[in-house]
Amino acid sequence: MNLAQLLDLELPIIQAPMAGVQLGALAAAVSGAGGLGSLPCAMLTPEAMVKELELIRSFTAKPFNVNFFCHVPPEPDAAREAAWRRELAPYYSELGIDAEKIPGGAGRAPFSAGAADALERFRPAVVSFHFGLPSRELLARVKGWGSKVIGCATTVDEARWLEERGVDAIIAQGVEAGGHRGNFLSDDLTTQVSTLALVPQVAAAVKLPVIAAGGIADAQGVAAAMALGAAGVQVGTAYLLCAEATTSLVHRAALKSDAARHTALTNLFTGRPARGIVNRVMRERGPIHPAAPRFPLATGAMAPLRAKAEAQGSGDFSPLWSGQNASGCREIPAAELTRQLSARL
């Protein structure tokens, strides 16, 4: 069965869930166009999620995807937090921020029983998970109400792990991808490979439909991913300039500039490696810093720097998430972009 049949889609194009830069409007537009729109919930309370789900439902009766993170929240570590704030101290004084008054903050929450309670009545066609899967009980609840489940693999081992636990399709996320790496069996970044290398290896290793993600920015890229054995694609970065996305002005400006050609994996903003456009704090502290608090606790210390700099029109302290290929970003409606991406299928 191909992906369009499995998920009841007209087009095998999934708009990647992108926490922090989109809400229901983007998902509704893509689903309305025949692709699979996604609502990212990692940064939404259950109440906010419900509001967005109602918005999507009011716009389209077509299938959509609801996406969650599955990390295990770490114990706060006061010594590590203090060391990290010392590392950022020169920036606090430069921007006139009182370091004593910065609250800690989780920033991103994993899928929970509370989220499942709020989600259940919507019975979305698809639920996707990043960083592995939730507990056996929570996964059984999601499958029990009829949602198809998609997991994200960054290695062949992760793809096999997901298949063994009963997912319906697997995203193969190449290292080109924007935003957080979905790796969950190993923290070793040398295990992370390109979409071109990963997709055919995952397709050979599992029996499930494979969805290619990472660096796919136009119709040729979509066709190439399908030629490698993908049953569909998940595209994120290319949607960031669409009017329906909530991408900030500094982020939009960076994506439109030559700076977008230089991205790196960085743990400075959340504590986990994620790909973003290289900016001042990444250059000056190095994109991966051993003192950064564990995911998602690093979000707190950077937040006031980001807010102050963005108010001055600067993205020096912002996570400017982007994949390695921002050439497909278009300031066009998301429905039109979805149709353009599928033009060679």
Ligand X SMILES: Cc1cc2nc3c(=O)[nH]c(=O)nc-3n(C[C@H](O)[C@H](O)[C@H](O)COP(=O)(O)O)c2cc1C
Query: Least distance in Å: CB of 304 to ligand X?
Result: 21
User: In terms of DSSP bridges, do strands 274-277 and 179-180 run parallel, antiparallel, or are they unpaired?
Assistant: antiparallel
Query: Least distance in Å: CB of 21 to ligand X?
Result: 5
Please give the radius of gyration of the chain, using alpha carbons only, rounded to the nearest integer.
19
Written as one string, the DSSP assignment of 216-266 is: --SHHHHHHHHHTT-SEEEE-GGGTTSTTS---HHHHHHHHSGGGG-EEEE
Q: Which is nearer to ligand X, 30 or 42 (CB)?
A: 42
Stretch near ligand X under the rule CB under 6 A, chosen from 53-61, 76-84, 133-141, 318-326? 318-326
**16 lies in the site for ligand X, by CB under 6 A:** yes
Q: CB of 240 within 8 A of CB of 255?
A: yes
Classify residue 310 by burial, with Cβ atoms within 10 Å: 0-12, 13-18, 19+: middle
* Contact track, ligand X, 144-173, x by CB under 6 A: --------x--------------------x
Residue 140: what are its φ and ψ, rounded to 5°?
A: -65, -35
Given candidates 40, 209, 271, 300, which one binds ligand X under the rule CB under 6 A?
40
145-170 burial, b for 16+ CB within 10 Å, e for fewer?
A: eebbbbbbbbbbebbbbbbeeebbbb
Among positions 105-144, residues that touch ligand X (CB under 6 A) are 130
Distance of CA 172 to the CA centre of its chain: 13
Stretch near ligand X under the rule CB under 6 A, chosen from 74-82, 85-93, 178-186, 304-312? 178-186
Stretch near ligand X under the rule CB under 6 A, chosen from 10-18, 118-126, 141-149, 253-261? 10-18
**215 lies in the site for ligand X, by CB under 6 A:** yes
Q: Which of 200, 180, 197 is nearest to 189 (CA)?
A: 180
Q: Which is nearer to ligand X, 102 or 149 (CB)?
A: 149
**Number of residues in contact with ligand X under rule CB under 6 A:** 28
Q: Which is nearer to ligand X, 152 or 208 (CB)?
A: 152
Binding site for ligand X (CB under 6 A): 16-19, 21, 40, 42, 67, 130, 152, 173, 176-180, 213-216, 234-237, 321-323, 325
